[in-house]
Amino acid sequence: METSRKKVSLTGVKPTGNLHIGNYFGAIKPALELAETYDARYFIADYHALNTIKDAAVLAANIREVAAGWLAGGLDAEKTIFYRQSSIPETFELATLLMAFTSKGLMNRAHAYKAAAQANTEKGADPDAGVNMGLFTYPVLMAADILLFDSDVVPVGKDQTQHVEMAQDVAEAFNFNYGRDGSTNSNNLGLTIPTALVRENVAVVPGLDGRKMSKSYNNAIPLFCSEKQLRKFIMRIVTNSQGVEEPKKPEDSQIFLLYKLFANAEEQAALASRYRAGGMGWGEAKEELFRVTNRELAPLRERFNVIMEDPLRLDAILAQGAEKARAIAVKTLKRLRKIVGIQ
């Protein structure tokens, strides 16, 4: 057994479409940094999306936009593995296998299911009204995504650690039953036990209204909108009633918090000084934000548009990633089939 194996990170990307600046700093950039120290794999969770997106055209468009967005954002498909979940049939075979080691009680405790059941109860409806089996067994499919690739770490937000913990529980149940080891350095390898990688220092990006940037709040700045549209979004940022001559606290301004994401240290210090000195209105502060934002996003926007204009090349990139991913997945399934007695 190889002892110098590079640790594996696995990142799932939901095809929700319409990526925004919050996605870029809160998800894309931190996830892509993992490729510097891990054997990094990234997949588009298109089958997961079926639980909420039932329009074929919308789902297909979202998959393409998100794939192009991550590539434009810096994902190197040559140095990492980037694929569609739906291109790896071994994922779904493993999910079926894992069902035999997953208790219904564990699924009852899943946050998404509990939230849906509670909402139904509060409305006086049956707790399971509108709950499909895709939603109920979502954690099992996610566990298959993770365990299929012997993932060591899975980057998630604090609110998503439960999914990784459930994958741990299922893997441990499997390993215990067959007397296997969860360490990749073991000659008795079963399922590798993953760990949630929660990054405390990931930026929380403020939206147009000061709350966390989110499509659900309708306060997001799209990542790949045109230069003209970008300026319009920035000019919509909510401010207080302080006049031009009044000194202002940069740390209390969402304009400045956004500015810090795009500006260098020298620019940040200079603008903070202007805030505190007075004599600068909110309109001028927004113009400064637009300048540094467009400076960084313009090349991303250009790359995104080029990728979207060549769907055949995008399909080829994802197909190449799927080929690399399947080579790993086939070996994993062969090992697990032998363990359970299915040759």
Sign of CA dihedral 294, 296, 299, 301: negative
Mean pLDDT of the chain: 94
CA 113 to chain centre: 20
Under 8 Å between Cβ of 22 and 69: no
Structure confidence at residue 2 (pLDDT): 47
Q: Is 269 found in the same domain as 195?
A: no
If you search the block for the tokens 């954002």, which residue do you land on? 73
- Across the range 210-230, mean pLDDT stands at 94
CB distance 20 to 164 below 8 Å:
no
Does the pLDDT of residue 255 top 50, yes or no? yes
> Is 277 a member of any domain?
yes
- pLDDT 10s digits, 117-175: 999 999 999 999 999 999 999 999 999 999 999 999 999 887 789 999 999 999 999 99
Closest CA to 128 of 137, 118, 139, 140: 118
Q: Which domain holds residue 131?
A: 8-203+310-340
Within 10 angstroms of residue 130's Cβ, the number of other Cβ atoms is 10
Cβ–Cβ under 8 Å, residues 191 and 161: no
Domains identified in the chain, total number: 2
Q: Residue 135 burial by CB count (10 A; 0-12/13-18/19+): exposed, middle or buried?
A: middle
CATH number at residue 59: 3.40.50.620
53 shares a domain with 19: yes
The answer to whether residue 210 sits within a structural domain is no
CATH of the domain at 299: 1.10.240.10
Residues 129 and 161 in one domain: yes
- Phi and psi dihedrals of 155, rounded to 5? -70, 125
Q: Which residue has the tokens 């209204």?
A: 209
pTM: 0.92
- Other C-beta atoms lying within 10 Å of the C-beta of residue 118: 11
Question: 131 and 150, same structural domain?
Answer: yes
Do both 128 and 187 map to the same domain? yes
Is the same domain home to 36 and 76? yes
